[in-house]
Structure 1
Amino acid sequence: MPVMHFHVVWPDQTQTRCYSPSLVVQEYLQVGHSYPLPDFVQRCHDALHIASERVRAKYGFACSQALDQLAEIEQRAAPFHTQADAQVLVTAFS
């Protein structure tokens, strides 16, 4: 399966490189686009669950690394949920 990373800038301007075991994330996120925080988290949830299921279909087991990445995204997003205008910018795929 083609592994990819997506790079994001959080509302506090810190940057994170995130992992996906599948290119499906490109169907949910666009480089150069800012997403409202809840929308970004939901898009990552959907994309990483699909990616994990693609791994399951191919190898017989879910991708724990994708689910760990989702947990990290949710944890990273938590402090910003009180900011009504919090945005996450997707800067690159690699």
Structure 2
Amino acid sequence: MPAMHFHVRWPDNTTSRCYSPSSTITEFFEEGKRYPLTEFVAISRAALTKASERVNARYGYMCSAAMDQLEVIERTASRFLDVADAHVTVETITA
């Protein structure tokens, strides 16, 4: 189960390196694609939950790092909730 990172650009042009414990992240995000902020958060929630569930199925425990990453994404996104037409770009997905 390869760990992956997805690099995102926020509406203020800052970037973040985000962690996923599983390659399932590639089923949810496309490199170079721009997502509306709320859609990005919802997809992140679904993707990281599924990745954590895969860890649970294999090792018998949920992945706390995936849930920590989701918390960081949600906290960062909350800064942009009042920004009109806020988007997040998934720049790259790497192993």
* Same fold (TM > 0.5): yes
How many residues are paired up?
94
2:11 corresponds in structure 1 to 11
Shift of 1:84: 2.7
The AA in structure 2 aligned to 1:60 is G
SS in 1 for 2:66: helix
Shift of 1:82: 1.0
Distance in 1, matches of 2:25 and 2:82, equals 26
Shift of 1:83: 1.4
Per-residue CA shift, 1:12-61, capped at 9, x if unaligned? 00000000001111111100100000000000000000000000000000
Distance in 1, matches of 2:84 and 2:53, equals 32
1:89 corresponds in structure 2 to 89
Distance in 1, matches of 2:84 and 2:64, equals 31
1:39 corresponds in structure 2 to 39
Distance in 2, matches of 1:21 and 1:55, equals 7
**What does 1:46-85 correspond to in 2, within 5 Å?**
46-85=46-85
The AA in structure 2 aligned to 1:20 is S
Unmatched segments (≥5 aa) in structure 2: none
After superposing on structure 2, the runs of 4+ consecutive aligned residues of structure 1 that deviate more than 6 Å are none
SS in 1 for 2:62: coil
Unmatched segments (≥5 aa) in structure 1: none
With 21-30 and 62-71 compared, the bigger mean Cα shift is at 21-30
Using the size of structure 2 for normalisation, the TM-score is 0.97
C-alpha RMSD of matched pairs (Å): 0.5
Distance in 2, matches of 1:81 and 1:74, equals 10
With 37-46 and 78-87 compared, the bigger mean Cα shift is at 78-87
- Percent identity between the aligned chains? 52
The AA in structure 1 aligned to 2:91 is T
Distance in 1, matches of 2:40 and 2:56, equals 24
